[in-house]
Structure 1
Amino acid sequence: MSVPFTRSVRAEWVKLRSLRSTWYTLACLFAAGLGITALALNAAAKDYPGDEPWDPTNRSLTSYVVAQLILGVPGILVVTGEHATGLMQTSLLATPRRHRLLAAKLVVAVAIALLSGQVLMFAAFGLGQAVLAAHGLPHAGIGDPGVLSAVTGGGVYLAAIALLAAGLGTILRATAGALATLVGIVFLVPALAGLFPAWLRDLFLYWPTLGASAVLKTVPDPDFPHPWLNLAGMCAGVAAVLAVAFVVFHRRDV
């Protein structure tokens, strides 16, 4: 008798929520995310208007830089945690269809990231605008042009990063290795972007923290004039990583 996919998802959710590290990670997400928002907006208020066009929405969403790494942790652990403890064999006995098991893990990872990431983005936006208003500086409302798109785009971006993290965890089967690779993708490559040959730079239109993160802005960026297209390109890249992850997970012994 075939086990419904919803039961597989429920089983993965029970496993993940039973880990204290999951809740510690989410607590850290909101503490760090909102703390960074408050600090960043207070600093921006002192330097107003600054050298760049004033974009109060984007400034209040800068915590995504740290949030993407924090949300990457449960995305990685949803797979690597069982490899580390040896429970992956038990999971495979309970769900022999490997593609179903991995799909259930990915559904749980993206659901947690999308929900918590979206809540963080709305909370960071509200806090950031309150800080700007307290300083008497121009601030935005959720109904202003482009604001809702930027805030919701931040949640989608974070969910995509969590899926990328889960894919890396599946391929590498090591928490430290997957996290180091994720750090390299979101921080190291953008920092060294100027060193890459010109024929590779078109990839940066769809790279995390570069073209894809332009979706969090309300002031048009001349370097990335089509931010949602850039984000879609990043999601396509994440899908390619997940395709490799499914193939690798299916072919390995464990």
Structure 2
Amino acid sequence: MNRLGRFLRHNGLTLAFFTGFLLTLAGQAVAGHADFDNQLTTDGLHPIGFLDYLATSDFAVDVTENWQSEYLQFFLYIFGTVWLLQRGSPESKELHKAGVESDREQKVGEHAGPDSPRWAAARGWRQRMYARSLGLVMATIFAWSWIAQSIAGVAAYNEQHLRQLQAPVSWVRYLGCADFWNRTLQNWQSELLAVASMAILSVYLRQRGSPESKPVGAAHVSTGVEG
């Protein structure tokens, strides 16, 4: 197998989902532009070009409100599964492994192997930081996405108010508006429902060959076992 073929095979999951992300983002932009122009026409205003739409706060807030909810899901899931368990689910650790586990189990410090990441073998803050790096990065992306949503959201909110000859609001005031929390909570509830459904349904249902499922013949009570 040549280098390109090996790269595609070794990174197929990331590449497939990232390609899907780009395609759906492009589709959202096209559909969003058409809807935005329809709204402008309804309000008696001139429609705008596609590239102009991509620079609008309406497009920005629609994108960022989805991003922040997705990264919230992963952030909560990564940190929550350290301590929270679900008997019989492959999404949970084994019942006796709740918590951060021992250095030996986590292969850190003196227990790190020759192929372990360098910071896993380090001492002090570097090891502590690296040991929580995945969750911290997810939390950081969530926080910045949420801030970006609020900034784009207040711009879109004020633009709509101005078209209706209403006074704009400040960013701080917008954070208490129903529009902001409606956009936020409608995404959060769906993400939390999806995680809860996956955790419990994977106890009783199977998907052969998927690491998100237990082996087809595994007992319902088997916990932390992947297929």
TM range (shorter): 0.3 to 0.5
> TM-score, normalization: structure 1?
0.32
Larger helix proportion, structure 1 or 2? Answer: 1
